[in-house]
Structure 1
Amino acid sequence: MGKYIFNLPDIGEGIAEAEIVAWHVKVGDMVEEDQQIADMMTDKATVEMEAPVDGKIVAVAGEEGDVIAIGSMLVEIETEGDDADGTEEKTPKKPATEVKETVPAKEDGAPEKLTAESTAAPEPAPVPSTAEPEAQETVSKPVKATPAVRARAKNLGVDLSQVKAQGEHIRHADLDAYLAYGSGQGYQPVGAWRKREDEKVKVIGLRRKIAENMAASKRNIPHFSYVDEIDVTALEDIRADLNASRGNRPKLTVLPLMIVAIARTIPDFPMINALYDDEAGHVTRHGAIHLGMATQTDSGLKVPVIKNAQDRNVWQLAQDIARLSEAARDGSATTDDLTGGTLTITSLGPLGGIATTPVINRPEVAIIGPNKIVERPVIVDGELQVRKMMNLSISCDHRVVDGYDAASFVQALKRVIEKPVLIFSD
């Protein structure tokens, strides 16, 4: 038997450490090469770690929530044969003619003796496994699922190996179908009679990052918010007309139209589309609009970024929104998808409420929050009419943006939205 030390590899430029957010194996489990063993979170993304060799897990680096350094041991695997200790990256298995034996180094770092190689020899006949039946039963085909689906299944106590996937990976829809029809328990309504037990939840992974970032934002940024109401009746009429003739293009929500309106308005208010470097003491006013979209996922809030939003039309923006939102929710968003924003928009859709006071996504200096659209009686030219109204919120960094600037920006944006012909004018 041999031992294979799998060290945490370099998983991103400038990354020195990563947090263990999920273990998919435990000590004693048998694993196959390329089987998912852990999810590691950096400041930029969640990365799935896969077993580099077949074998038995004999040691793991820590518990979920622990942070380990790049290059330190992630897992120790007991293997069939004499794989070398200390291997950091996944490498092809050594053929029987090149078996190596590595001797641990002395404390001063010098090896006690040189590595020896055996001479070529015929490949030995397969040896019957002597593993206990219980250990053999732990070997199973790896389950393919995103970290978000795995986390949800874990919280629900669902064994993903029992869930049937419609594609290569198990998705939320597959898990929903299993819960509703395939679990053998039938439909289980949740009633007020069902008492929920107290539970202690460790704050790890994305939830911990959100907590740290939000606390730093509120601690360092003097927030102020401004709210105004906007008549979106004409905008909604245009959206309905566009959807009626969209063909194969994605259905438009109000968000792409709002983004174009923001892009039309920002050039006159460069202080809104900016980043503030606290340590250097300077503000960078960006020409391009890299718009972050606050997106709720099963694992917490993520902010994928539409790059160069000012160059996109409403149909292109609709495609970008659908693609990035899905990537954020299923865990496939890349580091590039989730970084580089200069301004953020956050919307709760039908849950938008009357007004919001969103927290700024530091080091940005502003965040825009459209609220729910409702029909209300409004006096127009002395007559009572039913109009579609929406409150628009904005939170700004008072160190960079004055209240007058924020109010002026919202008033200019309101003018474009209430006269949506301006959205499509040159």
Structure 2
Amino acid sequence: MAQVLEFKLPDLGEGLTEAEIVRWLVEVGDVVAVDQPVVEVETAKAMVDVPCPYGGVVTARFGAEGTELPVGAPLLTVAVGEGTEDASPAEAEPERATAPAAGSGNVLVGYGTSEAPARRRRVRPAEAAPAAPAANGRDLAPAAADGPVPVISPLVRRLARQNGLDLREMTGSGPEGLILRADVEYALRAAAAQARPEQAADESRNRTPAPTADTPGVTRVPLKGIRGTVADKLSRSRTEIPDATCWVDADATGLMRARAVMNAAGGPKISVIALLARICAAALARFPELNSSVDTGAREIVRYEAVHLGFAAQTDRGLVVPVVRDAHTRDAESLTAEFARLTEAARTGALTPAELTGGTFTLNNYGVFGVDGSTPIINHPEAAMLGVGRIVPKPWVHEGELAVRQVVQLSLTFDHRVCDGGTAGGFLRYVADCVEQPAVLLRTL
């Protein structure tokens, strides 16, 4: 007799607590093998395929495409055991269990599966917690007492955290008690009204109604997935980091000539960003203050020996920052290959959480968009970011005479808590010197 096993959204790692269903890869009634990808999901870090730890017949799917699910929510059920190839969903449905009879057990999205999960007692409908009483005209379900709290997006979780709200004490008006942004905002308004009733009443009378989705000419785009995470990080960076920016124009003619000589010698072609990354690594060896982060809780500056170099990559789903691990140990060829690999993975949504985290310094080549300069926002929790504009022919005084040279604008945005302007200026000047005279790099190779 076939046994029906329930596969839940596994722990995604890196502190991720939810994912959006992008595309189902199987239908009800399909036969699946152990570790076969069954659904494509988008987390706050990347888009990945989720492998199923069981082999058998899919009897049910939970969640339509576009639905966000918290970690631990059911994804699908699979009938395993003898005769499952011929079993229909209706025949397999009476008994749903979470204890595996076969399969490997999923432990991390995008990395296959490992040993099977522990057996858990199935909760029957009669044992389910009673629904909380209706509030404000809405039927509310209580949040879970343990495990991840079901929240519709990371932005809602952040909004509650910033305002000191305990999500476990809240009730959600979404499906199965899902806490929506409207629930958090309602709780904040209620708290404000209780603390300052007169002020709250005045604000309510004088408030101009905000445009809604039904207002003609108004479109609301949810900040979720990768875009939501980027929004959170940028907001946190602006809130927590006292940043400053310095910039300099540099004659990149020498760098472009050196690259041309390298590429003419045969072998893989060297990219400009790889040379800039090599220069960054050398500059950070001279100015290690900028390869750091600030632990605000401990009031300490944390400096890193290894340079894990992030770089901005634009994708259809938003801006992501893949990380080149141990960039300080790589030569120009290795850096070129790694930049190409990570860029392609970013475009296809195949980056893993490990490839999107752990950066210590970021290189932002906004020149690819045809602009000369920028004052970028630091990639929290890093302490600095080097921006590189487009390299274009411009009038330049070279050896006492006016000439047309390849000029680039370099900008450094840095956390003023980790260093002063002298250190930041020294770093940027060294980078500019290497761009103008690549032979300067020979001292550190």
TM-score (structure 2 length as normaliser): 0.65
Q: CA shift at 1:56, angstroms?
A: 4.9
Question: What residue number does 2:17 align with?
Answer: 17
Pick closer, same or farther for the CA change 1:89–1:310 going to 2, 3 Å: farther
CA contact (8 A) 2:28 2:59 kept: yes
1:86 aligns with 2:97: yes
Question: What residue number does 1:233 align with?
Answer: 253
Question: What residue number does 1:315 align with?
Answer: 333
Alignment of 1:93-104 (within 5 A): none
The one-letter code of the counterpart of 1:340 is G
Distance 1:108 1:81 in 2: 24
Pick closer, same or farther for the CA change 1:317–1:89 going to 2, 3 Å: farther
The one-letter code of the counterpart of 1:86 is A
Q: CA shift at 1:288, angstroms?
A: 1.5
Pick closer, same or farther for the CA change 1:207–1:311 going to 2, 3 Å: same
Question: What residue number does 2:388 align with?
Answer: 370
Q: CA shift at 1:75, angstroms?
A: 3.5
1:64 to 63, 66, 78: 66
Q: Deviations over 1:330-382 (max 9, x none)?
A: 22222322221100101134324121111111110101111100101112233
Q: CA shift at 1:301, angstroms?
A: 1.6
Pick closer, same or farther for the CA change 1:323–1:103 going to 2, 3 Å: closer
2:221 to 179, 189, 201: 201
Q: CA shift at 1:2, angstroms?
A: 8.2
Alignment of 1:228-377 (within 5 A): 228-247=248-267, 249=268, 251-377=269-395
CA contact (8 A) 1:4 1:79 kept: no
* Structure 2 unmatched runs, 5+: 79-87, 105-120, 129-216
1:54 aligns with 2:53: no
Give SS of 2:355's match. coil
Distance 2:255 2:122 in 1: 73
Pick closer, same or farther for the CA change 1:45–1:6 going to 2, 3 Å: farther
Question: What residue number does 2:142 align with?
Answer: none
Question: What residue number does 1:392 align with?
Answer: 410
Q: CA shift at 1:387, angstroms?
A: 0.5
What is the aligned residue count?
A: 326
Q: Deviations over 1:375-402 (max 9, x none)?
A: 0111223311110000001111122232
CA contact (8 A) 1:18 1:41 kept: no
Distance 2:11 2:295 in 1: 26
The one-letter code of the counterpart of 1:209 is T
CA contact (8 A) 1:230 1:390 kept: yes
Distance 2:281 2:103 in 1: 51
Distance 2:405 2:57 in 1: 65
Identity in percent: 29
Pick closer, same or farther for the CA change 1:82–1:344 going to 2, 3 Å: same
Q: CA shift at 1:199, angstroms?
A: 5.3
Distance 1:424 1:290 in 2: 22
Give SS of 1:256's match. helix
Question: What residue number does 2:173 align with?
Answer: none
Q: CA shift at 1:274, angstroms?
A: 0.5
Distance 2:342 2:233 in 1: 21
The one-letter code of the counterpart of 1:301 is L
TM-score (structure 1 length as normaliser): 0.68
Distance 2:426 2:358 in 1: 26
Distance 2:400 2:226 in 1: 52
Q: CA shift at 1:411, angstroms?
A: 0.9
CA contact (8 A) 2:320 2:346 kept: yes
Distance 1:421 1:213 in 2: 38
Pick closer, same or farther for the CA change 1:90–1:405 going to 2, 3 Å: farther
CA contact (8 A) 1:55 1:80 kept: no
Alignment of 1:95-244 (within 5 A): 200-244=220-264
Q: CA RMSD in A?
A: 3.2
Distance 1:36 1:363 in 2: 33
CA contact (8 A) 2:252 2:435 kept: yes
Distance 1:9 1:353 in 2: 42
Question: What residue number does 1:73 align with?
Answer: 74
Pick closer, same or farther for the CA change 1:25–1:233 going to 2, 3 Å: closer
Q: CA shift at 1:5, angstroms?
A: 5.8
Give SS of 2:333's match. helix
Question: What residue number does 2:214 align with?
Answer: none
The one-letter code of the counterpart of 1:277 is D
Distance 1:260 1:50 in 2: 38
